[in-house]
Structure 1
Amino acid sequence: MVRTLNLIEKKFENFIIKNSKYIANKKIGIGVSGGPDSLSLAILLNKYRTKYNLDLFAFTVDHQLRIESQKEAQFVKSCMDKLSICHKTIVWKKPHSQHNILETARIARYNLIAKECIKNDIDLIMIGHHANDQIETFIIRLEANSGLDGLACMKSNTTIITDFTKLNIIRPLLNFEKKDLKEVCRKTNINWVSDPTNYNLKYKRTKARYIAKSKSLSHDFKLVINQYSKLKLNIDKLLNNQIKKNVKFNDNGICEIKNEFIKKLPKLFQKKILILLIKIIGGKKYPRKSLVINRIITNIHDVNINNFTAGGVYFIKSKNIILLIRQNEPSINQIILQYKTTIWDRRFLITKQCHTSNISVGPLTEKDYINMVKLKKIQKTKMPFAAIKTLPTFRVLDEIVSIPHLLYYKNYLWKKNIKIEHIENDLFISCNKLYI
């Protein structure tokens, strides 16, 4: 058993070495629920914290969905105290509606953790998803008729967009089996809690778990997931190179596609590119359904259709290009900037560098735009008016103090105190820039 533990620890250290530019010398948040997977993750990170200069901070989210949850959070704190890892329990005030409660809780969990990351200057979050979770995810998505992206399952490194910031997520245990993680806990004399919902057959994941228990099937599933993951990676590389050559971006969220480029691609590639662009331009949390994407492709090829809306995006067709602009819709809210960073409309990351409490951000209305032009506070722009109406506009009470994309600032302080960038800024930097 000692040899087994040594092999597990060495395998974990190899992951750190391979990903050292993301992990070494970083302040790392660990999501710890009390199960053997997340506890073993904390134990393994603790073993290498000095060697790789890891500053560790553990979070437990008490969703208050079960009677035992408070006691379990206290148990996790005692485990983290043994490891000398700072720990905080974050309590979620659950909604009255129980509709889709697990998904609602998942979104809330990441938002709550994001707030703590901002407060504590944490660079990334590590979570304990393991090989068994990966197989269960594959089975669930296979049953749901997922495509290539879904069947490639979870990535070890990913980014999640929350309401407040971009969370860098690392899953170091995707190649570790649960039995190995239990062994890590046993050898460290740390017990774990068992979540009764893991045995409740009303959940899809519980049913998938029974299929995944088969050793022969488990081996086959791992091979298939690995192949899907490699295929997705290679296709994404190919498409990203094509996007760099044929799609132009503006950091206000507008993009331009060459008509000829999108039309000559195989339908599979057309779908993948449109799904990506609609998420970016339309500020959507999830990819649009195939029915929506197929309708967009049909409209692009139809010479009798010039402009149309779909998936929160306004498409403007011309002879050689197609413009994609955020559609002006009620979901684009005006919100108060309560925290140092905020993500608005799932498109823009806003950093507030002042303590003014009543700053809000919302869309620029048609009335305000016309009034600002009349007062000569801004100049008319060649930007399509559909795009102007969805630009982030900062107000104190009812007064407009900044419209960064139209280069308007009431005074120098507003230019200095409010920083804004598109959440896909890296993509804009790596691709051609579009200036309108």
Structure 2
Amino acid sequence: MLTSVSVSSQTFSGGEAALNAAFDFASRLKPGCHVLVAVSGGSDSLGLLAALCEAAEKLSRPDIRISAATVDHGLRAQSADEAETVARLCATRAIGHETLPWRGEKPATGLMAAARDARYRLLADHAARIGADVIAVAHTLDDQAETLEMRQARNPDPPVSGMAAETLLMGRIWTARPFLSVSREAIRDLLVARGVAWIDDPSNDNPRYERVRMRRSLGGAVATPGAEATMAGHIRRRLSEAAADLLVSSVRIQGAAAAEIDLEWSAANPDAARYLLKALTAVIGGETHGPGKAVLADILAMAEAPHGARMTAGRCLFERNRARLFTLRERRGLERIEVLPGTTRIWDGRWRIENRSRAVVEIGPAGIDGEPIEAFAALPPRLSKLARLTMPCAGQGALPGEVGISRILSPYQRYLPGFDLALANRLAEAFGLSPFPAPGYFGG
């Protein structure tokens, strides 16, 4: 539904917070920066587009190029018309615009998460096509408050942080959130002042969705979460940096599949040790998230047990061996997949498989045959054998060079929050990978 607005001769000042945030963001952009704004047609994204255009003009920054894109999820009958409405608005302002349809079957469960993944994938692909330097998305202070409450409800273990001001998508391009400190009310004040109508999405009032239920429970209470989220983000960034240092000083990665940890590692900074252990477990287990506080406590308690103590968690085996703690992928749940010719698939959340051949290739866990892997030679013999058995192996008929196998870091494969960049890059180095790209859209 389109919300109509009228403009009087009154001077509007309620939108100053939105304009100030846009000015701050635009003033720091590097020369010639190309910004792709994700615009749904709702008040938040239209406000971001309008504010950034106004900021670039008033800052005399004609070098800043602003484009827009609308993702049509195809979940409502009106979505195509709404995307066309955005396209017409952009055309009147000479802003390049593209509608990006989400095609294919939609899942019966987990629809919102699937829609989010599809949305960011489509935006990242489009940004690459047009050469954009950054994708600007219009999450607000209201969204931040809801996110904090939802994350605290699901997992109260500290540090509970909100959305990062910047996030790396698919290891390729950064998104920025210039409006995280701006309320939705202030954005709408700006649109009313500029005579810009917006579209109200009925799904934003559908109590089927967790965010809508949380929004109703908060009742618009967004007075403090900006400061709270900022502080939580600073804490998480410091933990990430401390964990990155701990990784270098106390952990040795073996064959991109196992970790050898000095048991003195947690004495100086227990919080950083837990943070690192959580990330390591996710990477080695091929999961997007590491274990929670209780499981981490169990692992650390086991590490204090006598030589030979062991446990499994997060698809990993943990074993105490003298003054060291070893962790590697457990053998259970290792799948077999088929990779079609000319395609790429992820195996076990740990390895990217590229089939360069003209035939279907089957990938599964390595068998007991074959030579020991030199990279695991420093592991205790039994763990060395287990590590080898959890490695990917192409089926018979695959020729050398026809199948590419490369390591991935599952927690950061799709989304890497800016406050975790330090740890992610140290992990990438430890696992023999190139560093993740730094945000490059701001000037020096």
Fold similarity call, TM over 0.5: yes
The CA RMSD measured in Å over matched residues stands at 3.8
Paired residues of 2:17 and 2:182 also in contact (CA < 8 A):
no
Aligned AA (2:98): H
Distance 1:122 1:360 in 2: 36
For residues 3-22 of structure 1, what are the structure 2 equivalents within 5 Å? 8-18=18-28, 20=29
Distance in 1 separating the partners of 2:14 and 2:278: 44
Q: Which amino acid aligns with 2:198?
A: W
For the 8 Å contact 2:140–2:182, the answer to whether it is kept is: yes
> Are 1:43 and 2:44 counterparts?
no
**Cα distance per residue 1:169-205 (max 9 Å; x no partner):** 2211101111222234344543211111222334332
Q: 1:53/1:343 Cα in 2 relative to 1: closer, same or farther (>3 Å)?
A: farther
CA separation of 1:141 and 1:308: change in aligned 2, threshold 3 A = closer
Structure-to-structure mapping, 1:198-347, within 5 angstroms: 198-214=204-220, 217-249=221-253, 252-262=256-266, 264=267, 268-303=271-306, 305-328=308-331, 329-331=333-335, 333-336=337-340, 345-347=348-350
CA deviation vs aligned residue, 1:214-251 (integer Å, no higher than 9, x gap): 5xx53233333333333333333333322332223357
Residue type of the alignment partner of 2:387 = A
The percent identity for this pair of structures is 19
| Contact persistence 2:48–2:138 (CA under 8 A) | yes
Q: What pairs up with 1:79-158 in 2 under 5 angstroms?
A: 79-83=89-93, 84-95=95-106, 98-117=108-127, 119-120=129-130, 122-150=132-160, 152-158=161-167
Given the superposition, is the C-alpha separation of residues 334 and 186 from structure 1 closer, same or farther in structure 2, using an over 3 Å criterion? farther
Measure, in 1, the Cα distance between the counterparts of 2:182 and 2:393: 47
The gaps in structure 1 that reach 5 residues or longer are 374-378, 403-409
**Cα offset, 1:134, TM superposition:** 0.5
Whether the aligned pair in 2 keeps the contact of 1:350 and 1:421 (CA below 8 Å) is no
Q: CA deviation at 1:294?
A: 3.3
Report the TM-score, using the length of structure 2 for normalisation. Answer: 0.74
What's the secondary structure of 1:324's corresponding residue? strand
Q: Which amino acid aligns with 1:89?
A: L
Match of 1:70 in 2: 80
Specify which structure has the higher proportion of helix: 1
Tell me, in whole angstroms, the C-alpha distance in 1 between the residues paired with 2:18 and 2:391.
50
Report if the CA contact (8 A) 2:159-2:235 is conserved: no
1:361–1:35: structure 2 CA closer, same or farther, 3 Å change rule?
Answer: farther
Counterpart Cα distance in 2 of 1:255 and 1:38: 44
Count of aligned residue pairs for this structure pair: 398
Shift of residue 303 of structure 1?
1.7
Tell me if the contact between 1:245 and 1:431 (Cα under 8 Å) persists in the aligned partners: no
SS in 1 for 2:159: helix
Rounded Cα–Cα distance in structure 1 between residues aligned with 2:209 and 2:101: 25
Alignment match, 1:406:
none
Aligned-pair distance for 1:114?
4.0
Distance 1:166 1:393 in 2: 28
Please list, as runs of the form range in 1=range in 2, the aligned pairs for 1:363-378 lying within 5 A after superposition. 363=364, 365-366=366-367, 370=370, 373=371
Aligned to 1:159: 168
Compute the displacement of 1:154 (Å): 0.8
Residues 357 and 52 of structure 1: CA distance in aligned 2, closer, same or farther (over 3 Å)? farther
Partner Cα distance (2:365, 2:89) in 1: 50
- Secondary structure at the counterpart of residue 109 of structure 1: helix
Q: Hey, what's the Cα distance between the residues in 2 that align with 1:100 and 1:302?
A: 40
Match of 1:34 among 32, 41, 45: 41
Please tell me whether residue 171 in structure 1 is matched to residue 177 in structure 2.
yes
**Counterparts of 2:359 and 2:427, CA distance in 1:** 31
Equivalent position to 1:192, from 198, 217, 220: 198
Q: Secondary structure at the match of 2:120?
A: helix
- Residues 261-313 of structure 1, C-alpha deviations (whole Å, 9 max, x = no match): 14x36764443222111122222122323443333223322225444432122
Indicate if the aligned counterparts of 2:44 and 2:139 stay in contact, CA closer than 8 A. Answer: yes
Q: What is residue 374 of structure 2 aligned with on the other side?
A: 381
Question: Are the equivalent residues in 2 in contact too, given 1:65–1:94 (CA < 8 A)?
Answer: no
Three-state SS of the structure 1 residue aligned to 2:241 is: helix
Q: Partners of 1:53 and 1:350 in 2: how far apart?
A: 41
Q: Considering Cα pairs closer than 8 Å and 6+ residues apart, tell me whether 1 or 2 has the greater RCO.
A: 2
Give the TM-score normalised by the residue count of structure 1.
0.75
Could you list the per-position Cα deviations for residues 343-370 of structure 1 after superposition, in whole angstroms to 9, with x for gaps in the alignment?
6554456789x8x665868455226x62
**Do the aligned partners of residues 313 and 26 (structure 1) sit closer, same or farther apart at CA in structure 2, a change above 3 Å counting?**
farther
Distance (Å, rounded) in 2 between the aligned partners of 1:17 and 1:387 = 51
| Secondary structure in 2 matching 1:399 | coil
8 Å CA contact 1:254–1:326 kept in 2: the answer is: yes
74 and 401 in structure 1: CA distance in 2 versus 1, 3 angstrom threshold: farther
DSSP-derived class of the 1:260 partner: coil
